[in-house]
Structure 1
Amino acid sequence: MLHAAPTSAIHTEHPKPVQPPAPKMAPRLLNKLDTIHHIEDAHVLHLSRQVEVFMQLLPRDNISLHSVAAGGVVYLTKAHLGSQINCTLGLALHTTADLTPSILLCPYADQSALQALAMRSYVLDGFLNIYARSLHDIQVEVDPYMSFSEDLTFGPEMIVSRGAANEENGSTFIDASVAGFKDDGRSVEVLESLAESAVLRRDTILYFGKIDGRIAGCGAMALMETQYGKIAHLYIDSTTPDFRGRGVQRALIRARLNDAKSLGYDFSTIHCLPSIGTGRNAEKEGFGLAFTKPIMTKKLD
């Protein structure tokens, strides 16, 4: 898959979470060129670190990660993991015999890219929504040495806890993630691999949503820094079927936004397909739609 780039310390008390306001981010902020580059650079960094973990997990499988001259990366893992982690980010294209060529096109790329794809039998195959949010309005004390040992409470029944990347939390996170995603058609092996890649990342914090003491859902937050500034990326959210419709993902989003702000981050992103409820929950927690990327897939004869 190709992503065409745009041209051009411990406290004894933890601050209580503050509900973020619902209004969307101002369009003029989301459409600024620096903001677009910030989002795209963070996407490159996020997926690069994901593939670096797969290189550790599967040292004998010839997983590769290469820089793209125009700015970006090419990464190839195992074909059965699909295009999510077998693609190119940046102004280049790389394919394998085992994967159908697919391009995720940034709408801020030069329009000639879309014309060139159409001439080469690429057809529209879907969309990816890119959501973003400024954290300036979240009122919590900035504390880069905050404790993550305390649970956060949201309403009468929802608790969110954080987990360090150790063996116990990692196993629990993988099990919970698979339980939340296993009805989406992907194999358990793929789901376990994606969850394990989050567990092993040093830049990622794990989160668990709990109702009545049971794990109802989970998610992760990657804390990254690009040349345009710090960014907190929320990803791999899932809710187990028994607890859907009870605000689990919204609580997970809110907890991570408050933690990101407490750690000194002022910007956050979420990526999702339009067909799932993540976008609606993101908008309810103050995110705005930065842009939508069309997914162009090669039409095979």
Structure 2
Amino acid sequence: MAAIFITPQLAQRLERAEAQHLARQVETYAELYPGQRARTIAIAGGMAALTIGAFGRKLNHVTGFGLGASASLDELAALEAAYAAHGLATEIDVCPYADAEALKLLAARGYSVNAFSNTYIKSLDDAGAAFHPASGVEIVHVTAENAAEFFNACVAGFSVQMQQRPLALLEALARIAMARSDTRLYLAIVDGNVAGSAGLGLIEPEGTAVAHLYIASTLPAYRGRGIQQALLQARLLDAQREGFALASITARPSNVSARNALRAGFELAYTKSTFVRPLHNAVQG
């Protein structure tokens, strides 16, 4: 398979899809948990997510910043104040194709880079040829009958990670995925037991479709047995059958999700920098 050439237009397509994915997470959370003041804010061509402070950056960050639009110092200061009201620093993910003016704006407000994330992509033209499920792994779709199994497996899989997250966040993420109309959910079955779970977001922002693979986890007893590869390939096939030509995954560099994506034939599109303005700076203005 020939490498995909990344253009500014393709980067904008991927960033719009990720912003749409984040917005739908927040919107669904607001529907499931009314009264939490969860909301999204459009800024500089991107999307800011605000939920509750205990969730950290997972549902409280900005993506797509600086692509196709600009922001003022006042708009950015207002966003910082909104995050500060939740007890959070402002975290903004910026892709390499963002406008230079966006970087100047962040510099003027005292931001610095503290982390990176990778966007991986795969053409679905050859997804069928790449489908080789692990021996002994059965992939099934989640329905009303096995929804509770998905919820339990999703939470349990993410509960045992190097970076521990609050149980309330893990439960919220599982319920959000289950409630989204644009998401298909999957279970991996080994010897009649649930071994892993995953989701596929079929996202069509402004007519540019991207199949976004997310919320994948494996139960500790089944790790190292090809569970995630089987879940990846099943989702790629489904996306291809739905007419999607491009799939994406977002992951921190060198983590398990990143390695699984590369093994499944994804390629690195670009690395995004996470710009952060500390909370005490936001309070001081």
Return the TM-score normalized by structure 1.
0.80
- Which ranges in structure 1 are unaligned for 5 or more consecutive residues? 1-22, 141-151
Aligned residues: 262
% of aligned pairs identical? Answer: 37
Asked if 1 retains the 8 angstrom alpha-carbon contact of 2:134 and 2:226, the reply is: no
- Aligned pairs (5 A) from 1:32-181: 32-68=7-43, 70-89=44-63, 90-91=65-66, 92=71, 93=76, 94-95=79-80, 96-97=83-84, 98-118=87-107, 120-139=109-128, 154-164=133-143, 166=144, 168-181=145-158
Question: Corresponding residue for 1:11?
Answer: none
Distance 2:39 2:258 in 1: 32
Asked if 2 retains the 8 angstrom alpha-carbon contact of 1:54 and 1:197, the reply is: yes
- Which ranges in structure 2 are unaligned for 5 or more consecutive residues? none
Asked if 1 retains the 8 angstrom alpha-carbon contact of 2:127 and 2:233, the reply is: no
Q: RMSD of the TM alignment (CA)? A: 2.1
Asked if 2 retains the 8 angstrom alpha-carbon contact of 1:76 and 1:87, the reply is: yes
Instruction: For residue 198 of structure 1, report the CA deviation from its aligned partner.
Output: 0.3
Question: Corresponding residue for 2:192?
Answer: 213
Asked if 2 retains the 8 angstrom alpha-carbon contact of 1:206 and 1:218, the reply is: yes
Higher fraction of helix: 2
Quick one: which amino acid aligns to residue 112 of structure 2?
V
Asked if 1 retains the 8 angstrom alpha-carbon contact of 2:182 and 2:202, the reply is: yes
Secondary structure of 1:295's counterpart equals strand
Asked if 2 retains the 8 angstrom alpha-carbon contact of 1:38 and 1:228, the reply is: no
Secondary structure of 1:202's counterpart equals coil
- Aligned pairs (5 A) from 1:256-271: 256-271=235-250
Greater relative contact order, per chain length (Cα 8 Å cut-off, separation 6+): 1
Asked if 1 retains the 8 angstrom alpha-carbon contact of 2:202 and 2:212, the reply is: yes
Instruction: For residue 245 of structure 1, report the CA deviation from its aligned partner.
Output: 0.9
Distance 1:239 1:199 in 2: 17
Return the TM-score normalized by structure 2.
0.84
Asked if 2 retains the 8 angstrom alpha-carbon contact of 1:153 and 1:160, the reply is: no
Asked if 2 retains the 8 angstrom alpha-carbon contact of 1:34 and 1:228, the reply is: no
Asked if 2 retains the 8 angstrom alpha-carbon contact of 1:254 and 1:285, the reply is: yes
1:195 aligned to which of 174, 185, 188: 174
Asked if 2 retains the 8 angstrom alpha-carbon contact of 1:75 and 1:86, the reply is: yes
Instruction: For residue 292 of structure 1, report the CA deviation from its aligned partner.
Output: 0.6
